[in-house]
């Protein structure tokens, strides 16, 4: 890291103790910005980086609710409003027991640059709770969501801050959250939340968008190398929204997904994962990958190691942060993997990224590769603002164009800074410059 940026980084660590994931996300961006601060002293003069590392606003609140046994439960809610230089704060809500301020801040920080890269008018933010929806009844999830929104509603709105889903927050939770906002405010304000249901203001392709977008991004990487998905083996970790729709699109484009996972383990099926069965198990029954194996005679449950041990051409980590470590990266590379693209946010450790780079594996960071989700959220906001709704085909075409645009911007920026093929530098620099220029224009705020 450039020595002047190292000083800034040390200040960030000092000001935000104990937030390892946030430190990691900041380090990853600052490592790319050396040549930018050399070329553009105006960013340093206006303390753009220090300002970006300090959220505009952070809200932490109590979420009390009553479980099915009649016991009172207390969770902690967060919304970190990081940057509104380019538009209203935009970013999802994560409900998972591991959520604490450091996770929300890493996600919010990433979101600033990801959203900037889409070229759409959205700022960056993120929120969530340490509430665990797993094993909770629909009634419990509803009461939690209602209590969460009873505090959150005063901080958000169509022109202020527009939450959406993330891990643990899907269509069901968005419905309960929207219902409570509408009830409290007496406003049918569609554009205050994205990921809504198709019958009440949602957008076609939003559910599919993160997974599809990642696959479109990789398609562009393949094209740039003169290749296609035809005959390629792909391994996808996770089996949430991102993974499921990545698998769907890869299969449509001629690739074969040979392994998939969830927090209970992984499954290998050499002839290709059967999407209908996976959707049934994960989306309808909220089951485990073991339930998938029970229904597919040719599938086997991984008994040792991880799914990164399965030989593959392309690996898409689509589960959660830091799921792909140094050892996994080395195994992937030695088994001939050519491309790793992040469907999840920061699933690859910093050491693993270095291993992949040294081995010549192309690597696409999440802020570029998984930006299709939030980009389609912005398309949902566009439709809400014009009280319109677009067809699946039209929306998917827009998503594809946006992903192509991000891909090309990353490569062009990497070229401009003398780092051809470096998607990490390209994404960090292009995202940063877009938001930094807006900050300069808006004055010291
Ligand atoms: N949680 C998603 C992300 O990581 C989507 C956010 C949104 O649609 O606002 O980008």
One domain for residues 329 and 246: yes
One domain for residues 56 and 110: yes
174, 210, 217, 375, best to mutate for ligand 1 pocket (most atoms within 8 Å of CB): 210
111, 193, 367, 375, best to mutate for ligand 1 pocket (most atoms within 8 Å of CB): 111
Q: How many separate domains does the chain show?
A: 2
Q: Residue 33: what are its φ and ψ, rounded to 5°?
A: -95, 0
Task: Report, in angstroms and rounded to the nearest whole number, the Rg of the chain calculated over CA atoms.
Answer: 21
Q: How far is the CA of 295 from the centre of ligand 1 (A)?
A: 32
Q: How far is the CA of 108 from the centre of ligand 1 (A)?
A: 10
| Closest atom of ligand 1 to CA, residue 163 | 9
CB atoms within 10 A of CB 28: 22
Minimum CA distance residue for ligand 1 atom 8: 374
| Closest atom of ligand 1 to CA, residue 91 | 9
Q: Is the pTM of this model over 0.75?
A: yes
One domain for residues 304 and 356: yes
Minimum CA distance residue for ligand 1 atom 10: 374
Q: How far is the CA of 306 from the centre of ligand 1 (A)?
A: 27
Q: How far is the CA of 91 from the centre of ligand 1 (A)?
A: 5
| Closest atom of ligand 1 to CA, residue 376 | 8
Question: Residue 140 is part of which domain span?
Answer: 3-189
One domain for residues 260 and 291: yes
One domain for residues 153 and 37: yes
One domain for residues 143 and 281: no
One domain for residues 151 and 238: no
One domain for residues 185 and 252: no
| Closest atom of ligand 1 to CA, residue 374 | 8
Catalytic entry in 90, 105, 114, 126: 126
Q: How far is CA 398 from CA 196, 244, 369, 376, 404, in A?
A: 19, 21, 16, 8, 10
- In-domain check, residue 416: no
92, 94, 384, best to mutate for ligand 1 pocket (most atoms within 8 Å of CB): 92
Q: What is the pLDDT of residue 95?
A: 98
Bridge partners of 316, per DSSP, are 236
One domain for residues 168 and 236: no
| Closest atom of ligand 1 to CA, residue 370 | 10
Minimum CA distance residue for ligand 1 atom 5: 374
At CA 1, angle to CA 345 and CA 350, rounded to 5?
A: 30
Q: Which residues line ligand 1 (CB under 6 A)?
A: 90-92, 164, 166, 194, 345, 373-374, 377
User: How far, in Å, CA of 47 to CA of 444, rounded?
Assistant: 9
- In-domain check, residue 305: yes
Residue holding tokens 């990921």? Answer: 195
Residue 273 in contact with residue 260, Cβ under 8 Å?
Answer: yes
Considering Cα of 240, then 246, then 250, then 252, what sign does the dihedral take?
positive
One domain for residues 97 and 16: yes
At CA 249, angle to CA 243 and CA 254, rounded to 5?
A: 125
Q: What is the pLDDT of residue 303?
A: 83
How large is the greatest C-alpha to C-alpha distance in the chain, in angstroms? 64
Q: How far is the CA of 39 from the centre of ligand 1 (A)?
A: 32
User: How far, in Å, CA of 292 to CA of 301, rounded?
Assistant: 9
CATH number of the domain to which 121 belongs: 3.40.50.10860
User: How far, in Å, CA of 329 to CA of 334, rounded?
Assistant: 9
Minimum CA distance residue for ligand 1 atom 9: 91
One domain for residues 51 and 109: yes
Q: How far is the CA of 16 from the centre of ligand 1 (A)?
A: 24
Q: What is the pLDDT of residue 286?
A: 86
- In-domain check, residue 218: yes
Q: How far is the CA of 166 from the centre of ligand 1 (A)?
A: 6
**Pick from 317, 346, 369: which residue ends a domain?**
369
User: How far, in Å, CA of 70 to CA of 158, rounded?
Assistant: 35
| Closest atom of ligand 1 to CA, residue 206 | 8
Q: How far is the CA of 193 from the centre of ligand 1 (A)?
A: 11
Q: What is the pLDDT of residue 283?
A: 87
Q: How far is CA 152 from CA 79, 88, 246, 270, 405, in A?
A: 8, 15, 31, 46, 34
CATH number of the domain to which 352 belongs: 3.40.50.720
Local structure of residue 17 (DSSP, 8 states): T
372, 377, 383, best to mutate for ligand 1 pocket (most atoms within 8 Å of CB): 377
Q: What is the pLDDT of residue 445?
A: 87
| Residues of the chain with confidence (pLDDT) below 50 | none
Q: Is 126 a catalytic residue?
A: yes
User: How far, in Å, CA of 192 to CA of 88, rounded?
Assistant: 10
One domain for residues 293 and 256: yes
- In-domain check, residue 82: yes
């Amino acid at each position: 890291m450039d020595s002047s940026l190292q000083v800034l980084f040390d200040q960030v660590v000092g000001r935000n103790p104990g937030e390892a994931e946030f430190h990691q996300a900041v380090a990853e961006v600052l490592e790319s910005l050396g040549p930018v601060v050399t070329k553009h002293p105006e960013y340093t003069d206006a303390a753009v980086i220090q300002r970006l590392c300090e959220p505009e606003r952070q809200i932490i609140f109590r979420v009390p609710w009553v479980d099915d046994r009649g016991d009172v439960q207390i969770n902690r809610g967060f919304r970190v409003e990081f940057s509104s230089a380019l538009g209203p704060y935009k970013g999802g809500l994560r409900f998972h027991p591991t959520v604490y301020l450091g996770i929300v801040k890493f996600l919010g920080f990433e979101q600033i640059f990801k959203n900037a890269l889409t070229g759409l008018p959205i700022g960056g933010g993120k929120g969530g709770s340490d509430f665990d929806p797993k094993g909770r009844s629909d009634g419990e999830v509803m009461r939690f969501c209602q209590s969460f929104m009873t505090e959150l509603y005063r901080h958000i709105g169509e022109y202020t801050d527009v939450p959406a889903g993330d891990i643990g927050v899907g269509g069901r939770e968005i419905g309960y959250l929207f219902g409570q906002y509408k009830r409290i405010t007496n406003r049918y304000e569609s554009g205050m939340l994205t990921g809504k249901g198709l019958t009440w203001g949602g957008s076609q392709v939003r559910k599919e968008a993160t997974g599809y977008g990642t696959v479109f991004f990789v398609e562009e990487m393949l094209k740039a190398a003169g290749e296609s998905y035809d005959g390629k083996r792909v391994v996808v970790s996770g089996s949430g929204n991102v993974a499921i729709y990545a698998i769907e699109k890869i299969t449509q484009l001629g690739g074969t997904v040979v392994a998939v996972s969830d927090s209970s383990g992984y499954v290998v099926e050499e002839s290709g994962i059967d999407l209908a069965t996976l959707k049934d198990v994960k989306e309808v029954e909220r089951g485990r990958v073991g339930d998938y194996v029970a229904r597919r005679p040719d599938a086997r449950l991984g008994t040792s190691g991880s799914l990164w041990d399965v030989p593959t051409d392309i690996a898409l980590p689509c589960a959660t942060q830091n799921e792909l470590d140094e050892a996994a990266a080395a195994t992937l590379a030695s088994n001939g993997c050519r491309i790793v693209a992040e469907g999840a946010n920061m699933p690859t450790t910093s050491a693993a990224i270095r291993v992949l780079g040294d081995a010549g594996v192309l690597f696409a960071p999440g802020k570029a590769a998984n930006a299709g989700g939030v980009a389609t959220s912005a398309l949902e906001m566009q439709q809400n603002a014009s009280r319109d709704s677009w067809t699946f085909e039209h929306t998917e075409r827009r998503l594809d164009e946006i992903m192509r645009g991000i891909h090309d911007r990353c490569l062009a920026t990497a070229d401009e800074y003398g780092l051809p093929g470096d998607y990490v530098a390209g994404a960090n620099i292009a995202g940063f410059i877009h938001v930094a220029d807006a900050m300069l224009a808006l004055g010291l705020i």
